[in-house]
């Protein structure tokens, strides 16, 4: 029994000693400072990205006006934008019908825009195709409208009466056309240098009672046609009919055109003892203007019955 007690006491002493040693070591470890490590090195920042190079885009193509007359100006505009970050230069080229019309150099900073304007004109009437880069459009050139023709001039004149002292007929004529009556058988109203119209009145005494008016006209026109043919010209009858003059006299009314550009109105009158031919002539291009004057002169012609 004593051995057991003694062994127990020895065991307790050994255990107490072990606990004391461990406690001293832990206390010593807590009081001893730990040396600091080397300072931390910061990580380098990531590299900055390279700026984007200049890159150009075109937009907003306008063509004003869309329709003009020949020789008038057309304005073409386009918006140029540098969508890059660096400045750069760009050539803006205008093409019309696939042909280079004009080029303009543009320098822009990154992220900026500028409108470019071209002004052109065309002398030929047609539809034109416009191209600027990838943008396209059209404009129309038309011929200018023809000027309206001016109205025929109004003839304001004074009228005089002439009485033939030999053949007895009378006629009125305008003051703008002088009368030459030195030969009563061949009276001329107008004519001469500077006159655009002439009225000739031919009178011949004879026995015309047995001659019909149509036959007389046929023979006269045949002779007249032959006369112009000998001179290398043609005479064409445009119209033929009958009219009634003052005193109830019937006359043949024939309008002809001569190849040289002259137009005439022929009036044929047979009174039994005389034949009268009135020839009113002017240029064909002036016929519509002068013919009212001819009408008044012819309608005033009066013969003795």
Taking only Cα atoms into account, the Rg of the chain, rounded to an integer number of angstroms, comes to 59
pLDDT at 46 (0 to 100): 81
Closest alpha carbon to 254 in 226, 224, 229, 283:
224
Supply the pLDDT for residue 56. Answer: 96
Using CB atoms within 10 A of its CB, is residue 299 exposed (0-12), middle (13-18) or buried (19+)?
middle
Domain boundaries, the chain: 56-142, 159-300
Q: 56-142 adopts what CATH topology?
A: Immunoglobulin-like (2.60.40)
Question: Domain 159-300 carries which CATH code?
Answer: 3.40.1000.10
User: Residue 111 has what pLDDT?
Assistant: 93
- CA 117 to centroid of chain Cα atoms: 22
For the chain (length 305 residues), average pLDDT per consecutive 10?
A: 59 61 53 61 80 94 94 95 94 95 95 95 95 95 88 75 93 87 90 78 90 93 91 91 91 91 94 92 92 93 84
- C-alpha 79: how far from its chain's center? 28
pLDDT for the residue 181: 86
pTM of the model: 0.50
**pLDDT for position 10:** 56
Phi, psi of 285 (to 5 degrees): -70, -15
Check: CB of residue 84 under 8 Å from CB of residue 110: yes
Residues for the chain: how many in total?
Answer: 305
The pLDDT score that the predictor gives to residue 299 is 94
- Which pLDDT does position 221 carry in this prediction? 93
């Amino acid at each position: 029994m004593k051995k057991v007690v003694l062994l127990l006491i020895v065991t307790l002493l050994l255990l107490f000693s072990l606990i004391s040693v461990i406690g001293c070591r832990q206390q010593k470890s807590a009081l001893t400072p730990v040396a600091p490590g080397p300072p931390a090195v910061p990580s380098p920042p990531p590299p900055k990205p390279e700026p984007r190079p200049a890159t150009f885009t075109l937009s907003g193509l306008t063509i004003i006006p869309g329709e003009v007359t020949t020789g008038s100006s057309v304005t073409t505009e386009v918006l140029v934008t540098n969508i890059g970050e660096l400045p750069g230069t760009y050539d803006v080229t205008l093409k019309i019908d696939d042909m280079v019309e004009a080029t303009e150099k543009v320098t822009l900073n990154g992220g900026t825009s500028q409108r470019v304007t071209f002004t052109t004109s065309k002398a030929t009437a047609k539809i034109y195709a416009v191209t600027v880069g990838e943008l396209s459009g059209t404009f129309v050139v038309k011929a200018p409208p023809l000027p309206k023709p001016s109205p025929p001039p109004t003839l304001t004149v004074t009228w005089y009466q002439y009485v033939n002292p030999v053949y007895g007929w009378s006629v009125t004529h305008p003051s703008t056309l002088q009368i030459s009556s030195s030969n009563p058988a061949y009276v001329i109203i107008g004519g001469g240098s500077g006159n655009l119209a002439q009225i000739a009145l031919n009178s011949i005494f004879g026995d015309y009672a047995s001659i019909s008016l149509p036959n007389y006209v046929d023979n006269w026109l045949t002779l007249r046609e032959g006369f112009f043919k000998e001179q290398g010209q043609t005479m064409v009858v445009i119209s033929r009919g009958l009219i009634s003059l003052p005193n109830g006299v019937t006359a043949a009314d024939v309008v002809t055109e001569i190849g040289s550009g002259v137009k005439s109105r022929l009036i044929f009158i047979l009174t039994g003892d005389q034949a009268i031919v009135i020839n009113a002539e002017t240029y064909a291009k002036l016929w519509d203007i002068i013919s009212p004057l001819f009408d008044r002169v012819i309608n005033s012609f009066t013969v003795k019955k």
